């Protein structure tokens, strides 16, 4: 068995700034757990070792491990199941599946969703896309476009860019034939888990193409949501520009 990872227990205080220049012990354990998730040591949907086993592995107290796991659970990276253990979050799990989709019906009644793939092609990354995905100029990306409908009414037009190297073999036929949500497909087929996202939101007027696909007049008001989604290690793996109709929906978020 290999030696346990080295953990820095020596406080190094920045006297001039009056702040600690080291990570608390539980944050170091959290970082080691994230490294294990990134390496695929524990797959999505699988149980991780118990707190006692992890405490022995990292040579820390069970309370320190519990605090690290609590933070990962709060970030929806791990899921606790009472009496069963702690599991790696998966986009196949109902609790996690739609956590990046914030569009909510005004009446709070569940809507029947549908997805129509319009296009999926490989191309050289435009400069702005390459920059946001931290790719080199000219690197290949997969660009796909789809319309999401709710209760058979077109509601979201998505333009999505993915790093080509990570998504080899992704085609319109594969997307159209999948019954899984997009992020669940990325997870199961390509081993890419989207664990967090950053968004920018603005109001725009529908272009000719947007108006046709969303079945609204040209110039109709839309909510544009630009999202960059990251996998473990804060690596950007998706750029998504969504155009949303909000006549029957609103964009809902919780701020802590």
| Whether residues 148 and 37 fall in one domain | no
Look up the domain containing 75 and give its range: 13-88
Q: Give domain status of residue 195, yes or no.
A: yes
Which CATH number do you get for residue 135?
3.40.1410.10
Domain final position from 88, 113, 138: 88
| Whether residues 104 and 84 fall in one domain | no
| Whether residues 111 and 155 fall in one domain | yes
Q: Give domain status of residue 152, yes or no.
A: yes
pLDDT in the model for residue 113? 83
Token representation of residue 46: 């699988």
| Whether residues 67 and 173 fall in one domain | no
| Whether residues 157 and 83 fall in one domain | no
| Whether residues 81 and 169 fall in one domain | no
pLDDT in the model for residue 8? 56
* DSSP assignments along 201-249, one per residue: EEEEE--HHHHHHHT--TT-EEEEEEEEEEEGGGEEEEEEEEEE--SSE
Q: Give domain status of residue 149, yes or no.
A: yes
Strand locations in 27-184, DSSP E? 78-81, 85-88, 103-105, 113-124, 140-150, 153-163
Q: Give domain status of residue 68, yes or no.
A: yes
Token representation of residue 172: 């319109």
pLDDT in the model for residue 96? 53
170 or 13, which is more confident: 170
pLDDT in the model for residue 110? 79
User: In terms of Cα–Cα distance, which of 11, 7, 28, 8 is closest to 20?
Assistant: 11
Domain final position from 88, 122, 155: 88
| Whether residues 24 and 109 fall in one domain | no
- Tell me what the pLDDT averaged over the chain comes to: 87
How many structural domains comprise the chain?
2
pLDDT at position 202 over 90: yes
In sequence order, which residues have a C-beta less than 8 Å from that of residue 191 and are 6 or more positions away? 40
Strand locations in the chain, DSSP E? 13-14, 19-20, 78-81, 85-88, 103-105, 113-124, 140-150, 153-163, 196-205, 221-231, 235-244, 249-251
Region 123-148: mean pLDDT is 95
Region 243-250: mean pLDDT is 90
Model pTM score = 0.80
The strand pair at 13-14 and 19-20 is best described as antiparallel
Question: What CA dihedral angle connects 195, 200, 205 and 206, to 10 degrees?
Answer: -20
pLDDT tens profile 1-11: 445 555 554 44
| Whether residues 143 and 31 fall in one domain | no
Which CATH number do you get for residue 42?
1.10.10.10
Rounded Cα–Cα distance for residues 168 and 95 (Å): 28
Region 197-215: mean pLDDT is 96
């Amino acid at each position: 068995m290999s030696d346990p990872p080295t953990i820095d227990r020596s406080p190094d205080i920045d006297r001039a700034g009056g702040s600690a220049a080291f990570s608390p012990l539980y944050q170091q354990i959290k970082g080691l757990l994230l490294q294990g998730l990134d390496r695929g040591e524990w797959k999505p949907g699988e149980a991780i070792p118990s707190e006692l086993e992890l405490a022995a592995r990292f040579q820390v107290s069970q309370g320190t491990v519990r605090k690290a796991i609590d933070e990962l659970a709060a970030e929806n990276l791990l899921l606790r199941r009472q009496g069963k253990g702690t599991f790696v979050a998966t986009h196949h799990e109902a609790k996690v599946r739609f956590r990046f989709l914030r569009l909510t019906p005004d009446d709070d009644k569940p809507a029947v969703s549908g997805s129509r793939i319009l296009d999926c092609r490989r191309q050289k990354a435009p400069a702005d896309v390459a920059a946001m995905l931290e790719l080199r100029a000219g690197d290949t990306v997969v660009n796909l476009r789809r319309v999401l409908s709710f209760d058979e009414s077109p509601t979201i037009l998505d333009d999505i860019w993915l790093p080509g190297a990570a998504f080899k073999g992704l085609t319109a036929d594969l997307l159209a034939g999948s019954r899984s949500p997009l992020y669940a497909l990325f997870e199961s087929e390509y081993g890419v888990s989207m664990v967090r996202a950053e968004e920018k939101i603005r109001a725009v007027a529908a272009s000719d193409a947007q108006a046709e696909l969303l079945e609204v007049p040209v110039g109709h008001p839309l909510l544009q949501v630009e999202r960059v989604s990251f996998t473990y290690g804060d690596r950007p793996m998706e750029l998504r520009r969504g155009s949303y109709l909000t006549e029957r929906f609103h964009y809902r978020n919780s701020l802590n």
